Amino acid sequence: MNLRYSASRILHDEHMVVLALLNDLERVVLARKEPPAADDGEIGRFLGQLRGALAHEVTVHFAFEEDALFPVLIENGAGDLCDLLVEEHHVLRQTIEDVLARISAGTGSWTPQSWAGLRAVSAELVERLRSHAEKEEMALLPAMEEALTPETDAEACTRHEG
Ligand SMILES: [Fe+2]
Ligand SMILES: [Fe+2]
């Protein structure tokens, strides 16, 4: 897709990053049935990266979509799409909070129970967030390319706190 506006390109780039992160989450956490040892460096590094990336997803990416972009789209008649995406953000925020809480609780002493709990909620996150980002790539980006103007694009981009 040829994207004219910076706001669309910012979202597209962040979607690619989060989709790659979800692939890593599948490979590093979901594929591993046994709890890792407390000193497992790969798991420790990955979970640290995951925490930072999920915090960015909620506080920067979702906030940028909701506060800077959806108002422009609603003005342009795409209110139904925005309602659906906001509803998905709401569920995703809860799933992400659950993943972060389980990482905090389990880090340093994973047990079969705490690791199984992290894997279960991570599987839910992979499914929901992948489908959300793919939906936005297919529906939100074209709607933004339609609704934005050079002025509203520039204004929206000043509100992306990356
Ligand atoms: Fe979103
Ligand atoms: Fe998004």
Q: Which long-range contacts (CB under 8 A, 24 or more apart) does 142-147 make?
A: 142/1, 143/73, 143/76, 143/78, 143/81, 144/5, 144/7, 144/8, 144/11, 144/69, 144/72, 144/73, 145/3, 145/4, 145/5, 145/8, 146/76, 147/72, 147/73, 147/75, 147/76, 147/78
Ligand 1 mean position, distance from CA 130 (Å): 10
pLDDT of residue 10: 96
- pLDDT at position 162 is 60
Identify the nearest ligand to the CA of 90 by its number.
Answer: 1
Fold that domain 6-157 belongs to in CATH: Four Helix Bundle (Hemerythrin (Met), subunit A) (1.20.120)
For residue 72, report the distance from its CA to the centre of ligand 1, in Å: 15
The ligand that comes nearest to the alpha carbon of residue 84 is 1
For residue 121, name the pLDDT band (cuts at 50, 70, 90). very high
C-alpha of residue 161 to centroid of ligand 2, in Å: 14
Q: List pLDDT tens digits, range 48-103.
A: 999 999 999 998 999 999 999 999 999 999 999 999 999 999 999 999 999 999 99
pTM recorded for the entire structure: 0.95
Q: Please report, for the chain, the start and end positions of each structural domain, with discontinuous segments joined by +.
A: 6-157
CA distance linking residue 50 with residue 28, whole number of Å: 11
